[in-house]
């Protein structure tokens, strides 16, 4: 029998009107309890809102950009109500050629209502097992098969499900406690109903081992912990992942602190966890998160003197793993060059006053961005990306350019779209508007997406050259340092010219050294022809 229920926003604490930054499901999707439906973001953190039950999404009445509060109905879910097959909990072990025949719900006894003690089931040969997660609290309502706690042995992790439905009266364990079969987990005020068969009713049937002529068995998921790094509980708890992804990671013994998420805002997806395991099993060293690389030593700096620990900003937490992934996975090369911008700067100073009267700050970056269009048209590979399988090159027929903006929270990269269709004044106007939004933390998601090429300008600060990291999946980035007057030989004498240092980093899989040198040479010529840069867009 089908039953339709409302999907209601859970308690969000002190937050109201929280923005939805991603919708993870749609009408018609089949979801399981705790699967993420939407992702919301406060000024402190982002979180997934899970499905309340197993079922099929009937409607979702929200979209990215909407705001919600505790108790808001965001859709409806249809679930099947009736007899189900109940699975006896068991420690996950490596594939050994055994099959398990499980008792059905028809064989399950009926359990009376009233206060009862929830206990740890038979753990086989394991004793003194650690509690690594507690999912219940006093007052929670649970259904049969809802997870109560997660236990971890030296081989695998397992969730202990509720064997009766009801309301939790008290919880008798906490993270870090050690338990054994029969240990009390909590007190529940139960409602009458069927309960899963006891572990003793599970029948194990041996299968004849494979002969030498048969293909070698594939390593099972639960064999992974033999080679996976130990789970860092502190890092695991802070990882940006939905409950279902966390459960999968526990089952596979994956340390989420080592996995780089490819979802929105670096959220770790199921595929990210699977790719992490696959990379280790195949012996790849350049896997997500830098596994296979030597660990940085952990040092207690307080031993040497007074310290002050400050948390990373949200932007730093997001950008750090992405930059690390780009540095590890892309073969970076940086081409350094100088561009003569003597005439450009003279013209800019001439136009600066009139532009300011129009409310436009005519910065050098506007001219540099316009010059990049000329070079990108001539060298379309620089405005491309490798396909996910690495077999094809995706050429972009649009010209969207990102620029690194320095903010109190860290670097962000707003994007100016269709730069090739805008003149220098329009580009300068957008640069000012997006920079102000970046500093105030008010950029929208669309204003941070779609770039095919990025410029990182440090000219207003200083430096003579640097090696910017490519903003993958882009294949190149331009670094700009502070211009300086330098003696330049004109064929008969040295003359002072204003020279702009250019640092062009690129993905060597796509761009070779000769192309890079030609790109920066053409870019330098474009910066030297200020009249062409100021030419009106037809």
Quick check: is 240 catalytic? no
Distance between CA 260 and CA 263 in Å, rounded?
9
Distance between CA 202 and CA 239 in Å, rounded?
36
User: Helix, strand or coil for residue 288?
Assistant: helix
Following DSSP, what letter does each residue of 64-121 receive, concatenated?
A: TT-EE-TT-EEEEEEEE-S--PPPPP-------SEEEEPPPGGGPPEE-SEEEEEE--
Q: Are strands 415-416 and 401-403 parallel, antiparallel or unpaired?
A: antiparallel
Burial profile 311-320: b = 16 or more Cβ within 10 angstroms, e = fewer: eeebbebbbe
Max CA pair span of the chain: 103
Closest CA to 313 of 437, 423, 409, 443: 409
Tell me the two tokens of residue 225. 């912990």
**Residue 429 belongs to what H/E stretch?**
helix 424-440
Tell me the two tokens of residue 313. 């900003």
Cα angle, residue 215 at apex, residues 210 and 221 outer, rounded to 5°: 85
User: Which residues are registered as beta bridge partners of 496?
Assistant: 487
Tell me the two tokens of residue 22. 């991603």
Tell me the two tokens of residue 281. 């099993």
Distance between CA 159 and CA 250 in Å, rounded?
9
- Any residues with CB less than 8 A from the CB of 96 and at least 6 apart, and which? none
Tell me the two tokens of residue 380. 């379309």
Where on the phi/psi map is residue 56: left (φ > 0), alpha (ψ -120 to 50), or beta? beta
Q: What values do phi and psi take at 457, rounded to 5?
A: -105, 120
DSSP percent split of the chain into helix, strand, coil, nearest 5? 25, 30, 45
SS in 3 state form for 473-492?
A: CCCEEEEECCCEEEEEECCC
Given 270, 332, 336, 508, which residue is catalytic?
Answer: 508
Distance between CA 246 and CA 177 in Å, rounded?
20
Cα angle, residue 433 at apex, residues 533 and 451 outer, rounded to 5°: 65
Distance between CA 161 and CA 305 in Å, rounded?
48
Does residue 406 contact residue 400 with C-beta atoms inside 8 Å? no
Token pair 């779209």 in the structure block, residue: 417
Residues counted in the chain: 538
Q: Which residues are catalytic?
A: 508
């Amino acid at each position: 029998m089908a039953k339709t229920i409302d999907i209601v926003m859970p308690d969000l604490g002190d937050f109201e009107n929280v923005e939805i930054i991603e919708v993870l499901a749609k009408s018609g999707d089949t979801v399981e309890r705790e699967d993420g439906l939407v992702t919301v973001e406060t000024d402190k953190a982002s979180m997934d809102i899970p499905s309340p039950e197993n079922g099929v999404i009937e409607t979702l009445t929200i979209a990215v950009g909407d705001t919600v509060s505790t108790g808001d109905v965001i859709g409806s879910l249809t679930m099947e109500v009736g007899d189900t097959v109940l699975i006896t909990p068991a420690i996950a072990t490596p594939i050994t050629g055994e099959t398990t025949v499980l008792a059905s719900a028809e064989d399950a006894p009926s359990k009376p209502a009233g206060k009862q003690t929830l206990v740890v089931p038979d753990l086989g040969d394991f004793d003194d097992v650690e509690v690594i997660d507690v999912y219940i609290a006093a007052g929670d309502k649970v259904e049969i098969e809802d997870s109560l706690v997660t236990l971890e042995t030296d081989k695998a992790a397992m969730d202990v499900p509720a064997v009766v439905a009801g309301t939790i009266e008290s919880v008798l364990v906490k993270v870090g406690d050690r338990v054994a079969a029969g240990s009390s987990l909590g007190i529940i005020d139960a409602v009458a109903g069927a309960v899963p068969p006891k572990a003793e009713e599970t029948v194990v049937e041996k299968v004849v081992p494979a002969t030498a002529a048969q293909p070698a068995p594939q390593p099972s998921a639960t064999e992974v912990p033999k080679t996976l790094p130990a789970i860092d509980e502190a890092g695991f708890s802070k990882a940006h992942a939905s409950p279902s992804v966390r459960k999968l990671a526990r089952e596979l013994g994956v340390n989420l602190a080592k996995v780089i998420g490819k979802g929105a805002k670096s959220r770790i997806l199921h595929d990210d966890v699977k790719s992490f395991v696959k990379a280790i099993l195949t012996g790849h060293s350049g896997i997500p998160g830098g596994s296979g690389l030597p660990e940085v030593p952990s040092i207690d700096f307080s031993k040497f003197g007074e310290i002050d620990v400050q948390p990373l900003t949200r932007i730093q937490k997001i950008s750090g793993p992405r930059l690390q992934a780009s540095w590890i996975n892309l073969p970076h090369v940086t081409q350094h060059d100088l561009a003569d911008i003597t005439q450009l700067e003279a013209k800019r100073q001439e136009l600066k006053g009139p532009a300011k009267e129009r409310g436009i700050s005519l910065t050098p970056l506007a001219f540099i961005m316009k010059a990049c269009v000329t070079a990108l048209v001539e060298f379309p590979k620089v405005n491309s990306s490798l396909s996910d399988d690495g077999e094809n090159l995706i050429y972009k027929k649009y010209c969207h350019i990102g620029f690194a903006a320095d903010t109190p929270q860290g670097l962000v990269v707003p994007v100016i779209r269709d730069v090739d269709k805008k003149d220098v004044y329009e580009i300068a106007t957008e640069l000012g508007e997006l920079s102000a939004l970046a500093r105030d933390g008010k950029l929208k998601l669309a204003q941070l997406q779609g770039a095919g090429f990025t410029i990182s300008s440090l000219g207003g600060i200083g430096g003579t050259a640097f090696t910017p990291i490519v903003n993958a999946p882009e294949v190149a980035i331009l670094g700009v340092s502070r211009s300086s007057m330098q003696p330049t030989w004109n064929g008969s004498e040295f003359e002072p010219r204003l020279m702009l240092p250019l640092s062009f980093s690129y993905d060597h899989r796509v761009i070779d050294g000769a192309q890079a040198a030609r790109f920066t040479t053409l870019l330098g010529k474009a910066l030297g022809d200020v009249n062409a840069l100021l030419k009106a867009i037809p």
